[in-house]
Chains A and B, each alone.
Chain A
Amino acid sequence: MNSFTAEHRSPYFFLGLFLVCLFAARTDGLDNRHATAERWGSPAPVLLDLSLAGPLRGLASDFDVLTVFSIYHAASQEQKSRGSTELWPVMAAYLQRAQEMDPRFFDVYRLSGALLAYDAKMPHLAVQLLQRGAEQLEDNWELPFIAGFLAYDQLKDNSLAYSLMKEAALRPGTPPLTVHLAARFLAKDEGNSAGIAFLQTMIELMPEGYHAGLKQRISELQGSQQ
């Protein structure tokens, strides 16, 4: 019974002490999971990222997109509580980085077409990213289609919208809608109803958590239609 001496107790004492310290530090210290604008900052220089990623550029791109999800969540919260946020340019930088790491990663373009264009209100950048993607994915009609619609709806640049929509219409597997929209942009006619149709298609493609910006735009278009 008495063999459990001070000598034996001391490791347990220190183990307990260190566990308490660790718990206290983790409870009151900085937590990387709750990131803020200052904490995120911009991504590292592209050459450094590419060198670190080596043959795992795909994985590096996946992690950039995961960061975009986190920033979107934090930015939405901040926008709700403070009415503004400085996180949108940071989100845009991570989307650009994800595109540089893996230009064929389609989630990047989905997020650009929805979050970057509508929530972050950075349609110029969204169109640029989608155009770059369209150059890489030569058989894909969706990227010039989304870029064309954004050029029409957000940039109000009908000639760019027409040229992008025409590009989409010429690619394999394109639905008749692209041809229809290209014609409409060329004629600068009845944009709102086409816009609503497009946004509803986008809503079907996006998970529920990302519908807010798109729904807001639909109601704006519906309002101006009446």
Chain B
Amino acid sequence: MLRANSSRLIFELSRFTLVEIIQSRVFRLLIGGSLLIPLIAVVIASLFMADVGKVYLDVTLSGAHFVSMVFTLFIAASLLAKDIDQRICYIILSAPIKRHEYILARYAGLSIAFAILALTLTITAYIGGYFYIGTLPELYQSGFSVIMIPMMFFYIFFQYLSLISVAVFFFSWATGTAEILLFTSSVILFSWAFPPVLAALQTEELASQTPQFLSRLIEVIYQFLPHLNGSDFALSIAHSLHINVKDLLLYMLEHSAYAGIALVLALLLFKRRDL
């Protein structure tokens, strides 16, 4: 009985979160932007000689990253920060809602809203790819396959589920907007820039010039971050290369586990937080 009631509360609060996001102007702008991304991709791709399909996927993927990053920072992190700054969480928690229900419901609502955004991007990119790249001669398609479009958004979706969980983790102990935005954007920045640095540190020339403790430090920090470059999927997708199922499953597992860990830590910290 208690479990059913708890599930209902989480469902209601996540629905409330979803409605709150859908009604926000930024989200509507992002939906509008996601309609424009394939159009921009078509314009840029048409500037190229032959690898038009590859460029289309590159630009669409970049647009998807941009939209997802805006969602993470200006919708997910901002919504959570607003809960603290405007004391909304105090109002919600004064109702018979437990702290863990509150965290889980907020995360579920954010994830569903992000799924809606990702689905919109997938559909518009699919239409653009099907009607523009699909009709080009084979030389210009450069092995383009429309199946890569859902694959691309699948790739983006899991990465940003991790990053949204990072925002929730910071929310569980941060004191306000500035902290949540600063820490979340730092995690995005480091996750973005670290993999090439680590790859470069593996070359003999650079490894011999870099102090070992520094290499170890970067490696350790990187293990705490979500891996945005996971298995170089982005390039494989852009070239419509076959991705094996094992890699795909491990990639899903990595990001789901990361999101899970961040959420559990958030629950533990938020439970002890003095509100």
Contact = CB atoms under 8 A, between A and B. Distances in A.
Interface string B129-166: 00000000001001000000000000000000000000
A106 B229 contact: no
Contact of A54 (B193, B238, B241): B193
Given A54-B193, A102-B235, A62 B48 contact: yes
A197 to B, nearest CB: 19
A106 B228 contact: no
B200 to A, nearest CB: 5
Contacts of B51: 105-107
Nearest to A66: B47
Interface in A23-55: 47, 50-55
Given A58-B61, A106-B142, A51 B48 contact: no
Given A55-B228, A65-B48, A104 B193 contact: no
A69 B192 CA distance: 28
B55 interface: yes
B49 A206 contact: yes
Nearest to A207: B49
A56 interface: yes
Contacts of B193: 51-52, 54
A225 to B, nearest CB: 30
Chain A interface bracket (under 10, 10 to 19, 20 to 34, 35 or more): 20 to 34
Given A50-B196, A62-B55, A62-B58, A57 B50 contact: no
B99 interface: no
B106 interface: no
B59 A62 contact: yes
B49 A58 contact: no
B255 interface: no
A59 interface: yes
A201 to B, nearest CB: 13
B197 interface: yes
B208 to A, nearest CB: 15
Residue in A51, A52, A56, A102 whose Cβ sees the most chain B Cβ within 10 Å = A56
Given A62-B59, A105-B54, A55 B48 contact: no
A184 interface: no
Given A51-B193, A58-B58, A58-B234, A106 B48 contact: no
B196 A107 contact: no
**Which A-B residue pairs are the 7 nearest by beta carbons?**
A50-B196, A54-B192, A58-B58, A51-B193, A58-B238, A59-B62, A59-B58
Given A55-B228, A56-B234, 7 more contacts: A47-B200, A56-B61, A57-B234, A58-B57, A59-B58, A69-B47, A111-B49
27 contacts: A47-B197, A47-B200, A50-B197, A50-B200, A51-B193, A52-B193, A54-B191, A54-B196, A54-B228, A55-B228, A55-B229, A55-B234, A56-B62, A57-B234, A57-B235, A58-B54, A59-B59, A59-B62, A62-B48, A62-B58, A104-B235, A104-B239, A105-B54, A107-B49, A107-B50, A111-B49, A206-B49
Interface of A: 47, 50-59, 61-62, 65-66, 69, 102, 104-107, 110-111, 205-207
